[in-house]
Every structure is written in C-alpha cells, then in structure tokens.
Structure 1
Amino acid sequence: MLTDIERKILRIIGNYSAMKPKPPSIDVICVKTGRSREGVMTVLEVLAREEYIEWQRAEPDNIEVITSWERKGR
C-alpha cells in the first residue's frame, strides 16, 4: 500500500505523462508537491522498487510509468 506522498507523486507523473510527450522533471515534481529534491528522489526509489515506475537515481529526469494507479492488495 502506498503512502499519501507516494500516491501523490505517482499521480503527478501519470497525469503529466498523459498530457505531455515526456515525464515531469524532478524540479517540476518538487514544485507540485512542495517537497525537497532529496525527498522526491526517496519516493521515486520506493515507486521504482515497488515497480510502479522505471527510474534510476543516476538519471533522475528519466522516469517511465509502468502503472499509474495504486494496485489493490499490496
């Protein structure tokens, strides 16, 4: 089960990616959530580990959505 901030960032990435040809940058996510860059990077690591997104810290602005909504029963 995702926390509120994990769910919020996943929705931001999913909605942004649906509207634009590329995913949002880390800076855009920081502005939309009011979180620090390090805080956003930590949440992205969790989302990648849970296989909601494909993302690596080495390429922070390269985010690929696998599932843009929370799965039930996790």
Structure 2
Amino acid sequence: MLEDIDRKILRILYNYSSGRRRLPSMEELVIKTGKTKKDITQCLINLEDQLFIIWENKKYVETIKIIQGWENGGTVKEERKPSTTNNTDYWTQY
C-alpha cells in the first residue's frame, strides 16, 4: 500500500508521461507536491523499491521508467460479462 505522497508522485509521473509525452523535472515535482527535493527523492526510492518505477540514474528524474501507473487497491472490479441475448430480442419482444 502506497503512502499518499508516493501515490501522488506516481500519478504525476504517469499523467505527465501520457499527457505531455515527457516526465516532470525535479523542480516541477516540488511545485506540484509542495514537498522538498529530499522528500521527493525518498518517495521515488520507495516507488522503485515497490517496483512501480525504474530509476537507474538518480541524478535526473527524467530518466525514470514507469512500470505500473497505479497501485492495485486490493479491490477487484466486476468484469462486465457479455450479454447472452442477442439484439433480436429487442425487435421480437417490444
């Protein structure tokens, strides 16, 4: 289970990568989270330890590779099952 700040940083990384086609800089993470560089670095290390990201070059946030964009919350969504009826029921029964 991720801490709130870890989850927030992971979502920021994911949203930047999908929406802007790049990862945020450390300065952008400081602005978005309101945390210090030291706190953000620790969160990124936590995310790496929990296999959400790969961060080989610790000098640059832009070198992060996202493995999972969100955590599995432990809740299982019900899968939508395909209808067993066909659309002719609509025309024949109504």
The TM-score, its normalising length taken from structure 2, stands at 0.71
**Quick one: which amino acid aligns to residue 70 of structure 2?**
W
Q: Which amino acid aligns with 2:19?
A: M
Can you list the C-alpha shifts for 1:9-43, whole angstroms capped at 9, x where unaligned? 00000001101222111111111000000110000
Choose 1 or 2 for highest CA Rg.
Answer: 2
- Counterparts of 1:8-47 in structure 2, within 5 Å, are 8-47=8-47
Shift of 1:54: 0.8
Greater strand share, 1 or 2?
Answer: 1
1:67 aligns with 2:68: yes
SS in 2 for 1:28: helix
Overall identity of the aligned pairs, in %: 37
Counterpart residue number, 2:3: 3
> Once superposed, what is the RMSD of the aligned Cα atoms?
1.4
> If the length of structure 1 is used for normalisation, what is the TM-score?
0.88
The one-letter code of the counterpart of 2:72 is R
Question: RCO (CA 8 Å, sep 6+): is it higher in 1 or 2?
Answer: 1
Query: Do 1:52 and 1:65's aligned partners in 2 also have CA atoms closer than 8 Å?
Result: yes
Where does structure 1 lack aligned partners over 5 or more consecutive residues? none
Q: Give 1:57 shift.
A: 5.5
Check whether the contact 1:23–1:64 (CA below 8 A) recurs between aligned residues: no
How many Å separate the matches in 1 of 2:40 and 2:57? 11
Unaligned runs of 5+ in 2: 75-94
Provide the C-alpha distance between the structure 2 equivalents of 1:44 and 1:57, rounded to a whole number of angstroms.
12
